[in-house]
Amino acid sequence: MINIVVALLSEARPVIKHYGLVLQPEWRGFPVYAGNGLRLVVSGVGKVLAAAATAFLAGAARAQHGPWLNIGIAGHSSLPIGAITFASKITDRVSGRNWYPPQVVKMPGTGVHVATHDQPVLHYPESVACDMEAAAFYVSATRFVSGELAQCCKIISDNAQSHIDHITPNFVADLIGDNLHEIDNAVQALRSLVEAADHIHVDAIDVNQYSARWHFTTAQKVQLQETLRKALVRGSAEMLDAEQWHYCHNAKNVLAEIDRYLKSLPVTL
């Protein structure tokens, strides 16, 4: 599941339409749209709301393993209106802290330094894209996933020649709509990365069969999990069946028996 955070409904609309996302009425607090392996939350403008909406989506959806994409508009001194960029560096202008989302997959457009401000910016610093959410989004998203899986995509809406006063909801929707192909490339790139991440993740092995028969202390349960992980890697899926150790009197015996069995297997790579 890919999680998308946008500040404005006008930014969200083209994405919602493109992916056929549907409003989830049961979600309260922030509007959430979902469908086709994507979930989108409309956070509202600013750092506090961006961080809250990201955490809200992560917590409520238990979306810990999905990648995260922040899509939004930004101002830049020189890049043309409509240019798509991604954040290779993010700075929180208030605290001065920097983050560098690792670029493992090719993101669309040019990499830019995004500076997150508390107020709209009227004077553009050189070569920096200015927005109001990226830093908070990144900090919040990386509580749940590693940085490779949290990316910010910014579309230039204003620059030194064309200031923010002409930004309207329709203009914003058009900017995003014109870049849907590139946004989709970013979504696909993140999908491929999350497949790799999923491969890394192993769900906790179900040891219920074992704990229903014998009493395992907390430490013994950890040991059992680890022993069964090794057994599965070494191709002994039948080890998950607790029945075979029916003759064991207690958890200690079971662990010793599994260990003995593992030692009897040839070690290969």
- Site residues (vs other proteins, CB under 8 A): 88-89, 98-100, 102-106, 110-111, 113, 142-143, 145-150, 193, 196-197, 199-200, 202, 229-231, 233-234, 262-263, 266-269
Work out how close the CB of 30 gets to other proteins at its nearest, in angstroms, rounded to a whole number: 23
Closest approach, Cβ 51 to other proteins, in A, equals 15
Smallest gap from residue 86 Cβ to other proteins (A): 10
113/117 with CB nearer other proteins: 113
Nearest CB to other proteins, comparing residues 22 and 222: 222
**Distance in Å, CB of 13 to other proteins, minimum:** 31
Q: How far is the CB of 164 from other proteins (least distance, A)?
A: 26
β-pair partners for 76: 129, 159
Neighbour count for residue 48 (Cβ, 10 Å):
13
The nearest distance, CB 103 to other proteins, in angstroms, is 5
User: Under a CB-based contact definition with an 8 Å cutoff, are residues 26 and 105 in contact?
Assistant: no
| Rounded Cα–Cα distance for residues 70 and 253 (Å) | 52
CB nearer to other proteins: pick between 22 and 202: 202
Cβ proximity to other proteins, 41 vs 239, nearer residue: 239
Nearer to other proteins, 17 or 229 (CB): 229
| Amino acid identity, position 127 | S
Cα 203-213-244 angle, rounded to 5 deg: 80
User: In the structure encoding, which two tokens stand for residue 263, read together?
Assistant: 């030692």
Cα distance between residue 121 and residue 73, in whole Å: 12
Residue 9 vs 197, nearer CB to other proteins: 197
Closest to 84 measured CA to CA, from 1, 151, 166, 4 = 151
Task: List residues bridging with 42 in a β-sheet.
Answer: 6
φ, ψ of residue 127 in degrees (nearest 5):
60, 25
Q: What is the DSSP letter of 18?
A: H
Name the minimum Å distance from CB 268 to other proteins. Answer: 6
In which region does residue 117 sit, left (phi positive, over 0), alpha (psi from -120 to 50) or beta (all else)?
Answer: beta
DSSP state of 14: H
Nearer to other proteins, 11 or 148 (CB): 148
Quick one: 8 or 193, whose CB is closer to other proteins? 193
- What's the N-to-C CA distance of the chain in angstroms? 33
Backbone angles phi, psi at 113, to 5 degrees: -85, 120
CB of 99 to other proteins, least distance (A): 7
Cα of 5 vs its chain's centroid, Å: 10
